[in-house]
Structure 1
């Protein structure tokens, strides 16, 4: 039973570990043999093992040398067997390192960290956000999930890339979604608005199914899908089309004497419109009290949606209720 257990355990080990065990076993065997063949030249087994490693690795210090014919026959056998296995072991380490780097670039490796950010979707918005996060918070680990990109170089974008569909549990498990701190889902630029929003909502459902407590920030293109995204489990909704509409309106309506719209771009590039369910801690607080709390968190509260009625900048004494949706500008 014990022999079968160790045999089973051995075959479950990684190949590189099994190869290392084989190297140590063969070198130790030859060290024992040479010790008994030439006990004067190799007074201890450790001296024999040392000689075996030095000889097989072709280092050749010359501090221990077999003198008898029997000892030299042992040395020849060691060179023919042990030298090859050590060379194979070293080449295997190099091959394993290259394979790991290849798998990392192609999104095939599981992420083993925790308290990390998960970004779903690879586009210009994601690239800019990765740069901003890594510049401000270099210690934060980012996992990127995308099904369209085939390769991402870590040297260019310091993220752990996972290639696959974020609506699949196996892909989310590779991203260690259970121990992530926050998820951002961006709209798929390769699809039309309806398809992109449907995929976003499916991704929200998949993430929420794997982690019921994690905050989920989702980009939704169509206003009609905001409620569905919130029902699916999104914590915060980013309406990027709202931002673009206001920017276009500003450009179309500004007078020639007005400053060009690049000034507003610099401000709004750092913010996005957000739809968020009213947190429990803000229920029964006034609009003014909630605004002060959210401002400290980087949210500029603009108004609320209650029973499908939008109230922009209500009176300061207006009391928030459970089920309200908060409209705010969110700092990126």
Structure 2
């Protein structure tokens, strides 16, 4: 009964482990056997095992050789059995490594890390966000979930790819969402705005259902779905259409349309940042803080107070302890992101 359990346990192991155990057992057995047959030429069991591994792997250093007929027969059996096992093991190990890399690129491998950021959707915004992660050397792993990609090279993008529907619990568990820190849900560019927002809301519900405490940032295209996204459980709603509409308006109706290009290009070279105010700025007004920040090439635009974002507050508004100031600064100097 016990023997059957061991056999079942052995055959349930991965083939690489089974081959490694088989090769090890074979070499140990032949090493001990040659030590018993020729104790003068193989004075210790370790010497016999060393000879078995060298001979079975076809390396053949020649520092130990059997001299008796029985010893030579043992060597022949070792070469026939051990050589085949070792060759098969190396071939299987190589094939397994290649298959693992292929499965990783095809999004079939489960992510095992923690405190990572999950991004849903592969598009230009996602690519830019990943590049910003790299440029600022952020100490966080990135997991991408997308159902439109068939393959994504880990070497080229340095992200863990999961292929599947982001509303599927199976897919989210493969991304280890239960131990993730953030989820960024981008809008699907292949859908209409209404369809994309509905899909985003379903993604929010699925993510929140699998991790009630995770921080969710989502992109919503239409105003009518903004409240629904909040009800679904997102922490932050980003409206990219608002900004683009403003630029279009300025380009159409202002006296100098070329200024829109300058504004857009300038904003592309900036990054939104936040910084907890120091003791020296408590009770100072917003105007005073703006002047102080300009000295460091920081363009102050608002503040965060008690989880509420206040843009362009009154210049006379006094700062309170615990406030965070929101500002823009060039990308090459930016360090802290708005959370």
TM-score by length of 2: 0.80
Q: In the TM superposition, what are the counterparts of 1:264-283 in structure 2 within 5 Å? A: 264-267=264-267
Q: Distance in 1 between matches of 2:260 and 2:224?
A: 32
SS in 1 for 2:304: helix
Q: Give how far 1:195 is off.
A: 1.1
Q: Distance in 1 between matches of 2:232 and 2:66?
A: 76
Unaligned runs of 5+ in 2: 273-285, 287-300, 318-326, 329-336
SS in 1 for 2:8: helix
Q: Give how far 1:270 is off.
A: 5.1
For the Cα contact (< 8 Å) 1:121–1:187, is it kept in 2? yes
The aligned counterpart of 1:203 is 203
Check if 1:121 corresponds to 2:130: no
Once the two structures are superposed, what CA deviation does each residue of 1:138-185 show, in whole Å capped at 9, x if it has no partner? 431100000001111122211001011110001000111011111000
Unaligned runs of 5+ in 1: 273-287, 304-312, 318-327
Q: Distance in 2 between matches of 1:38 and 1:136?
A: 65
SS in 1 for 2:156: coil
Q: Give how far 1:243 is off.
A: 1.4
Q: Give how far 1:268 is off.
A: 5.5
For the Cα contact (< 8 Å) 1:32–1:45, is it kept in 2? yes
Q: Give how far 1:113 is off.
A: 0.5
The aligned counterpart of 1:17 is 17
SS in 1 for 2:311: strand
Q: Distance in 1 between matches of 2:260 and 2:247?
A: 11
Q: Distance in 2 between matches of 1:49 and 1:132?
A: 54
Q: Give how far 1:69 is off.
A: 1.4
For the Cα contact (< 8 Å) 2:303–2:310, is it kept in 1? no
The aligned counterpart of 1:259 is 259
Check if 1:192 corresponds to 2:209: no
SS in 2 for 1:114: coil
Q: Distance in 2 between matches of 1:64 and 1:252?
A: 88
The aligned counterpart of 1:132 is 132
TM-score by length of 1: 0.81
Q: In the TM superposition, what are the counterparts of 1:225-264 in structure 2 within 5 Å? A: 225-256=225-256, 259-264=259-264
Query: Number of paired residues?
Result: 295
SS in 2 for 1:144: strand
**Do the aligned partners of residues 315 and 80 (structure 1) sit closer, same or farther apart at CA in structure 2, a change above 3 Å counting?**
same
Q: In the TM superposition, what are the counterparts of 1:1-332 in structure 2 within 5 Å? A: 1-256=1-256, 259-267=259-267, 294=304, 301-302=310-311
For the Cα contact (< 8 Å) 2:41–2:64, is it kept in 1? yes
Q: Distance in 2 between matches of 1:266 and 1:111?
A: 38
For the Cα contact (< 8 Å) 1:250–1:261, is it kept in 2? no
**Do the aligned partners of residues 114 and 171 (structure 1) sit closer, same or farther apart at CA in structure 2, a change above 3 Å counting?**
same
For the Cα contact (< 8 Å) 1:107–1:162, is it kept in 2? yes
Kindly report the root-mean-square deviation, in angstroms, between the aligned alpha carbons of the 2 structures: 2.7
